[in-house]
Amino acid sequence: MLAACGSEPAPAPVAVEPGPVPETAPEATAPAPGTVVAAPDAQARAQAAMKDFAERLRGRLREAMTRDGAPAAVDFCHLEAPRIAEQVMAEHGVRLGRVAVPGRNRNPGNVAEGWLQELAVSFQAAVDTGGAPEAQVAVLREDVPPGIELRMARGIRVEAACLMCHGDNIAPEIAARLAEHYPGDRATGFKEGDLRGLIWAEVPANPGTTP
Ligand code: HEC
């Protein structure tokens, strides 16, 4: 579940180093500027930022749908999803975003590349063999570029509420708005329980700056 990002125990994280802080460290508060952050806190920061991003997206999308109806909510997503990401990045001092599973993106800016492309492929393979999308979690500390302390990603599950904009039977008014903003839309045809994509976060090595 989008809303559950970061709140449930991480089942099989990739390459997690053992540390004194539990993996599911609760709500991290952003460290004061200039604070030296020990390695385990980076994961808590990534988790808190991802959770905040997922919850804000979900809450604001729900509000827009209730207030203006689903076709207008397409415009909302188009304008607000990137802005919400910007806000959460600024507040948490991390980079984050969402990407689609390979070949299934709506916004061309959400194509999984590099490390996210690799993870998307392995998450998809795990889901194809029975894994739950939201149970796919990776935490990377090794092989990250200079200036980055930690990278984290989690699978996003397609829920019933997503189908009106990502499923098979898209209402004509919604389809028209989608075609207007996303002429090359490849993010329809999903089924409930599919892996839709990944939510990711990147924590800079130097707290308070983004890489
Ligand atoms: C009202 C229509 C609508 C609903 C409902 C909706 N989405 Fe989307 N979704 C969009 C639009 C529009 C975009 C493109 C946003 C952008 O331009 O950044 C998008 C993009 C995404 C992306 C980014 C990857 C990509 O292909 O661009 C993910 C992941 C995603 N949606 C998941 C979900 C999930 C999971 C749900 C259900 C919890 C959901 N969406 C419900 C309209 C919707």
Q: What's the pLDDT score for residue 33? A: 58
- Protein residue closest via CA to atom 41 of ligand 1: 162
Top pLDDT among 14 and 169 is at 169
- Protein residue closest via CA to atom 5 of ligand 1: 162
Mutate to test the pocket of ligand 1, among 74, 107, 164, 181 (most ligand atoms within 8 A of CB): 107
pLDDT tens digit string along 138-156? 999 998 999 999 999 999 9
Q: How much of the chain exceeds pLDDT 90, in percent?
A: 77
Q: What's the pLDDT score for residue 206? A: 73
Average pLDDT over residues 18-38: 48
Quick check: CB of 101 below 6 Å from ligand 1? no
Top pLDDT among 117 and 26 is at 117
Residue at token pair 């910007």: 86
| Distance between Cα 57 and ligand 1 center (Å) | 9
Quick check: CB of 197 below 6 Å from ligand 1? yes
Quick check: CB of 164 below 6 Å from ligand 1? yes
Quick check: CB of 150 below 6 Å from ligand 1? no
Q: What is the pTM of this model?
A: 0.82
- Protein residue closest via CA to atom 29 of ligand 1: 197
pLDDT tens digit string along 95-109? 999 999 999 999 999
Quick check: CB of 105 below 6 Å from ligand 1? yes
Task: Supply the mean pLDDT for the chain.
Answer: 85
The answer to whether residue 6 scores a pLDDT higher than 80 is: no
Q: What's the pLDDT score for residue 52? A: 97
Average pLDDT over residues 117-132: 98
Q: For the chain, give the secondary structure using H, E and C.
A: CHHHCCCCCCCCCCCCCCCCCCCCCCCCCCCCCCCCCCHHHHHHHHHHHHHHHHHHHHHHHHHHHHHHCHHHHHHHHHHHHHHHHHHHHHHHCCEEEEEECCCCCCCHHHECCHHHHHHHHHHHHHHHCCCCHHHCEEEECCCCCCCEEEEEEEEEECCHHHHHHHCCCCCHHHHHHHHHHCCCCCCCCCCCCCEEEEEEEEEECCCCCCC
Average pLDDT over residues 162-179: 96
Categorize the per-residue pLDDT at 34 as very low, low, confident or very high, splitting at 50, 70 and 90.
Answer: low
